[in-house]
Amino acid sequence: MLARLSSFFDPLVRLLVLAIILASIVPVSGEAVPVARLVLDLAIFLLFLLNGLRLPRGDVLRGMRDARFLLPLVAFVFGLMGLAGWLASGAAQSVLPASIALGFIFLGVLPSTVQSATAYTSIAGGNVAHSVVAAAVLNMLGVFLTAPLIALLARSDMPGIDLGGLERIGMILILPFVLGLVLQSRLGGFVAERRRLVSWMDRIAIATAVYIAFSSAVRQGIWTMLDPAAWGWLLALVAVMLLVGFAGAWLLGRLLGLERGDQIAFQFAGAQKSIAMGAPLAAVLFTPQVAGLVLLPVLIYHLVQMIVSAPLAARFSRQLS
């Protein structure tokens, strides 16, 4: 019970809840919208520059040699979960707004979290080194793969995909990310020495993206758009995605014959989805009118995955003791 409750005290979770509440009460509107978008672009640029500076480039290159672990993981995160998101989106078309249905495809092709997947792997007694490498590789690939996969899986009549956003992805996601990788040898130590400050900069940038995106959803009447039955369908489909993520990652790890520590790392890296990638990418890839709605399944998935992961990690840890 304590492990379950502790997930609510995660600083990012608290900031996300605060951003949703604030957007519901005081959404960005009117003349403030262009200013907010500019601030958001700058925050996203900084976020991905920091990601490039601190991802362990040397560890990633060494860890990529373990193809038996990484290749199935990449296939699961972007392939199987992407397929699950596509099927969930198809099921949602008849019961939810099209923008929210599109959000399930978006959820399916997002990469894994970095910090929480590694933290839970450590708590569970798993292979932390493999977890760090897996999260870094998945997020590096996500910068380049997520947007094309959405374009591939989304139906042509689905609303809100901003093709001009692909150019913005290059300018405020990929460019700063690659720049960070290039400058890592010079500035990586500076960032590492200020880990706490950088961590809070990350969280604030992510919460800002959620606040601005969700403000648009509030202006469109999200709280009245969905009746109780629609909310029930939304939660049920997110639950299916969680089942595919957590049960599927565990079963695939067993089928691969991974050692227990590696299987635990595979579990959390495979099942968790990154709001750190999802929030800024939604703000860039989708039009402002639908970005908040597209992000809704990701927000729910992220909050619930934290609740599920805490007791799961504690259970793995008890089994080892």
Distance of CA 25 to the CA centre of its chain: 25
Q: pLDDT class for 2, splitting at 50, 70, 90?
A: very low
**238 confidence band (pLDDT: 50, 70, 90):** very high
Which span out of 156-170, 189-203, 206-220, 223-237 was modeled with the highest average pLDDT? Answer: 223-237
Domain range summary for the chain, segments of one domain joined by +: 2-24+31-314
Determine the pLDDT at residue 178.
Answer: 79
Mean pLDDT of the chain: 82
b/e 22-31 (16+ beta carbons within 10 angstroms → b): bbeeebbeee
Position 167 scores a pLDDT of: 62
**Vertex 277, ends 271 and 280: CA angle to 5°?**
145
pLDDT confidence band for 1 (50 / 70 / 90): very low
pLDDT band at 162 (very low <50, low <70, confident <90, very high): low
Q: What is the pLDDT of residue 286?
A: 82
> What top-level class would CATH report for the domain 2-24+31-314?
mainly alpha
Task: Give, in degrees to the nearest 5, the angle at Cα 82 between 79 and 87.
Answer: 125
Residue 196 CB-half CA count within 13 A? 0
pLDDT > 80? residue 195: no
For residue 182, the Cα-to-chain-centroid distance in whole angstroms is: 24
Q: In the chain, what percentage of residues exceed pLDDT 90?
A: 26
**Bigger pLDDT: 230 vs 168:** 230
Give phi and psi for 89, each to the nearest 5: -65, -40
